[in-house]
Amino acid sequence: MTGGDMIDDLTDADLVAAAASGSEAAFRELFHAYVRPVFWIAHGLLGDRRDAEDVAQETFTTAWRKLRGFELAGDSALPWLATICRNVAANRIRGLRRERENTAGVVDERQPDIVNVEQQVIDRELADRIAAEVSRLSESDRRIFTLCIVDGYAYQAAADELGVSHGSVRNRLSRIRTRLRGAVREEER
């Protein structure tokens, strides 16, 4: 087993603990697992691709600095990273407002002053529900979910990676999405 294989078999909690002990490989694995969801959270808050890329990068820089002494509560690092992302995005929004006020003299009222705390709680609960349901999937379904949803692979690219047919990936991903939607709706009731 190579070192990369050992990293691939670790849970998020194991990866966080290893990264906190200085393992750049473990942190790199966390980065690759969650950079896309973090980017999309930032993009949803900021509405600008470049700002979202900067916030995603700063999120992981902040996470790296905060690893010492941090213990992951739960199965997924996404809620922790999402919280850091929202805080970084809120700082970015405030900075952009100040910059506009100082340079243009006119405030863009479309940009919020702060990030809605209630929405943060809802987002975290939703992320936790999705992570819990994903953890209940079979290993092959989790791999399809990771490749297509987290990593953004096209069906054919995921099929090639997994050695299965395009139709198999498409059909299984459809069932996975239906299952996740059902779990989220069931929790909301």
pLDDT tens sequence for the chain (189 residues)? 344 445 667 888 888 888 988 899 999 999 998 999 899 988 888 888 898 899 999 999 999 988 887 777 777 888 889 889 999 988 888 887 877 777 654 555 555 555 555 555 556 666 777 777 888 888 888 888 877 777 677 788 888 888 999 899 889 988 888 887 777 676 555
Intervals of CATH 1.10.1740.10 along the chain: 3-114
Lookup: tokens for 133 = 């349901």
Lookup: tokens for 13 = 């909690």
H helix or E strand, kind and range, residue 5: helix 3-8
| Fold (CATH) for 137-189 | Arc Repressor Mutant, subunit A (1.10.10)
Q: What is the pLDDT of residue 188?
A: 54
Q: What is the pLDDT of residue 181?
A: 78
In whole angstroms, give the CA distance from residue 11 to residue 8.
8
In whole angstroms, give the CA distance from residue 184 to residue 181.
5
Taken in order 6, 164, 153, 74, is the CA torsion positive or negative?
Answer: negative
Neighbours of 143 (CB within 10 A): 15
Q: What is the pLDDT of residue 8?
A: 62
Q: What is the pLDDT of residue 2?
A: 41
In whole angstroms, give the CA distance from residue 170 to residue 97.
43
Question: Selecting from 1.10.150.530, 3.40.50.300, 1.10.1740.10, 3.10.20.30, what CATH number does the domain 3-114 have?
Answer: 1.10.1740.10
Q: What is the pLDDT of residue 1?
A: 35
Lookup: tokens for 189 = 């009731």
* Cα angle for residues 60, 143, 146 (degrees, 5° grid): 35
By C-alpha distance, which of 89, 55, 84 is closest to 72? 84
Intervals of CATH 1.10.10 along the chain: 137-189
By C-alpha distance, which of 124, 142, 125 is closest to 179? 142
Q: At what angle do helices 24-46 and 49-66 cross, to 10 degrees?
A: 140
Tell me if 113 sits within 8 A of 95, measured CB to CB. no
Q: What is the pLDDT of residue 54?
A: 92
How far the first Cα of the chain sits from its last, in Å, is: 45
Q: What is the pLDDT of residue 3?
A: 47
Q: What is the pLDDT of residue 186?
A: 64
